[in-house]
Amino acid sequence: MNFVNVKDIKNFNGQEVTLRGWIYNLRTSGKIWFLLLRDGTGLMQGVVSKNDTSEEIFNKKDVLTQESSVTVSGLVHEDKRSPGGFELIVKDIVIHQIAVDYPIALKDHGVEFLMENRHLWIRSRKQWAVLRIRHAVYYAITEYLNENNFFRFDSPILTPNACEGTTTLFQVPYFDLGKAYLSQSGQLYLETGIMSLGRVYDFGPVFRAEKSKTRKHLTEFWMMDAEAAFVEHAENMQIQEELIRFVIRKVLDKNLMELEILERDVDKLRKADAPFGKMTHHEAVDFLRSKGSEINYQDDLGAQDEFLLTEHSDVPIFIEKWPKEIKAFYMKRDPENPNLVLGDDLIAPEGFGEIIGGSQREDDHDLLLQRMQAENMPIQDYQWFLDMRKYGSVPHSGFGVGLERLVTWMSGVQHIRETIPFPRTIYRIQP
């Protein structure tokens, strides 16, 4: 039996094939009825006619339902009006299981209902498209890094101390050793890896116990963190720009069908594949204040600030050289102004906000120690981190990419909860 996937059906025009999948939709019209079959790789229309099949097969329209699982055999026929340009003249249908009272009909449902049924909602056409874009973004990121001398270096999820303070961390008991934390970033561990491998990255789940209710926040999400030895601030931003532009090109190459399903304006993505903008935090505040914002020069950017900064820009914009008071202890001071750090945030256009945070790291042992002492950090717990500055320290930089935020921008969906299979928020841990 010649089992094929829908995505490959164009290679079998005029041949008899067998498809396996689920009924996405059914409609009848007298002596002919249509089924729309999905198999994970795509959708294909099947035509069941009394003239082309037995009465037994034809009458299966009376028992089949949305999401019933089937094996369908027939003749591939080119038809420009059908999804994908081909349809199947059905000869045989084998039913594996009849889905009874499938709760998500092909109509609008409320968000709460869909979230309660997320395990089923991911089968829908738009969610399928978003998850395929997520897959493409994930592999595009790793492809770029692997081709540019970065090595995968897996950091632990259970950590004995925090990367940036414990106020937004989940605590867990850890046997007789006290408490541990679910990681909020692999960065500190990655910095150890550069002394072995030169350039490293990790890619996995991280956790933030931040009581945020915005459309851009999750309590569990996926982060790619990268660190590189002998890379300083300007080159760090160059790597970030090259990475994001590489991702854009890959998504446009591999996911045009999915972007069309989501009604994404692909021209805006194409325009974003151009040299990125850049301004200092001070320049950004000047600009925002000229627009009526009440932001001050020691303030972080809010969602509205990020929107205003990119409102008339086709490309993402780097905001660099931030006040040291609002950035992490490990960021290197700007040699031209010690009140600033060599940090950068990359703000996506179209109101999608920050997608990358990065910086050059402080490589001087004594300066870093002073900073940690000033913040009353438990030095003994971080001695392993300080050791890197004692034994062959070098200039180095790194950055982190939030996978879900990047997928949100690529796909054009308006809420981050749709970009991860099972979103976790302050209000949701089911299903």
Q: What are residue 107's DSSP bridge partners?
A: none
Instruction: Give the residue from 263, 197, 217, 237 showing the smallest Cα distance to 357.
Output: 237
| SS3 assignment, position 103 | coil
- Assigned domain for 364 exists: yes
The predicted model gives 232-259 an average pLDDT of 98
In whole angstroms, give the CA distance from residue 389 to residue 395.
10
The predicted structure's pLDDT at residue 58: 95
Same domain, 408 and 371: yes
pLDDT in tens, 172-207: 999 999 999 999 999 999 999 999 999 999 999 999
What is the H or E stretch that residue 21 is in?
Answer: strand 16-29
Task: Give the domain extent around 59.
Answer: 6-97
The predicted model gives 359-384 an average pLDDT of 94
Class of residue 247 by CB neighbours under 10 A (exposed 0-12, middle 13-18, buried 19+): buried
pLDDT of residue 364 exceeding 80, the answer is yes
Final residue belonging to a domain, choices 97, 132, 147: 97
- Assigned domain for 404 exists: yes
Q: How confident is the model at residue 402 (pLDDT cuts 50, 70, 90)?
A: very high
Q: What CATH number is given to the structural domain containing 88?
A: 2.40.50.140
Same domain, 203 and 272: yes
Same domain, 201 and 336: yes
pLDDT in tens, 258-283: 999 999 999 999 999 999 999 999 99
Same domain, 223 and 90: no
Q: What angle do CA 146, 150, 155 make, to 5 degrees?
A: 110
pLDDT of residue 420 exceeding 90, the answer is yes
Instruction: Give the residue from 92, 103, 84, 75 showing the smallest Cα distance to 38.
Output: 84
- Assigned domain for 105 exists: no
Q: How confident is the model at residue 84 (pLDDT cuts 50, 70, 90)?
A: confident
178-to-161, 162, 171, 173 alpha-carbon distances in Å? 11, 14, 10, 6
pLDDT in tens, 26-80: 999 889 999 999 999 999 999 999 988 999 999 999 999 999 999 999 999 998 8
Q: What are residue 71's DSSP bridge partners?
A: 20, 94
The predicted structure's pLDDT at residue 29: 85
Same domain, 16 and 57: yes
More confident residue, 217 or 240: 240
In whole angstroms, give the CA distance from residue 329 to residue 415.
31
The predicted structure's pLDDT at residue 36: 96
Q: Over pLDDT 70: what percentage of the chain?
A: 98
The predicted structure's pLDDT at residue 164: 58
In whole angstroms, give the CA distance from residue 102 to residue 81.
28
Q: How confident is the model at residue 168 (pLDDT cuts 50, 70, 90)?
A: confident
pTM of the model: 0.94
213-to-127, 150, 222, 420, 427 alpha-carbon distances in Å? 22, 35, 18, 17, 9
Strands 151-152 and 199-207, bridge-based pairing: parallel
The predicted model gives 331-352 an average pLDDT of 96
- Assigned domain for 133 exists: yes
Q: How confident is the model at residue 106 (pLDDT cuts 50, 70, 90)?
A: confident
Final residue belonging to a domain, choices 46, 66, 97: 97
User: At residue 111, what is the residue type?
Assistant: V
Strand order through the sheet with 171-173: 158-159, 179-182, 171-173
Same domain, 14 and 150: no
Q: What angle do CA 52, 57, 61 make, to 5 degrees?
A: 110
pLDDT of residue 356 exceeding 90, the answer is yes
| CA dihedral of residues 402, 270, 128, 351 (deg, nearest 10) | 50
Q: How confident is the model at residue 138 (pLDDT cuts 50, 70, 90)?
A: very high
The predicted structure's pLDDT at residue 163: 58
Q: Dig out the tokens for 103 from the structure.
A: 């709760």
The predicted structure's pLDDT at residue 1: 67
Same domain, 414 and 364: yes
Q: What angle do CA 402, 405, 411 make, to 5 degrees?
A: 135
Same domain, 273 and 361: yes
Final residue belonging to a domain, choices 97, 126, 150: 97
Instruction: Give the residue from 165, 127, 124 showing the smallest Cα distance to 378.
Output: 165
pLDDT of residue 165 exceeding 60, the answer is no
Q: Dig out the tokens for 260 from the structure.
A: 């069309």
In whole angstroms, give the CA distance from residue 117 to residue 229.
46
In whole angstroms, give the CA distance from residue 196 to residue 164.
24
Query: Total domain count for the chain?
Result: 2
- Assigned domain for 144 exists: yes
In whole angstroms, give the CA distance from residue 351 to residue 409.
9
Same domain, 356 and 415: yes
Q: What CATH number is given to the structural domain containing 387?
A: 3.30.930.10
The predicted structure's pLDDT at residue 66: 96
Q: Over pLDDT 90: what percentage of the chain?
A: 87
- Assigned domain for 132 exists: yes
Quote the mean pLDDT of the chain: 94
- Assigned domain for 431 exists: no
Same domain, 291 and 235: yes
Same domain, 34 and 146: no
The predicted structure's pLDDT at residue 388: 93
| SS3 assignment, position 98 | coil
User: At residue 283, what is the residue type?
Assistant: E
Same domain, 341 and 388: yes
In whole angstroms, give the CA distance from residue 199 to residue 138.
19
- One DSSP character per residue, 227-284 reads EEET--HHHHHHHHHHHHHHHHHHHHHH-HHHHHHTT--HHHHHHHSSPPEEEEHHHH
User: At residue 294, what is the residue type?
Assistant: E
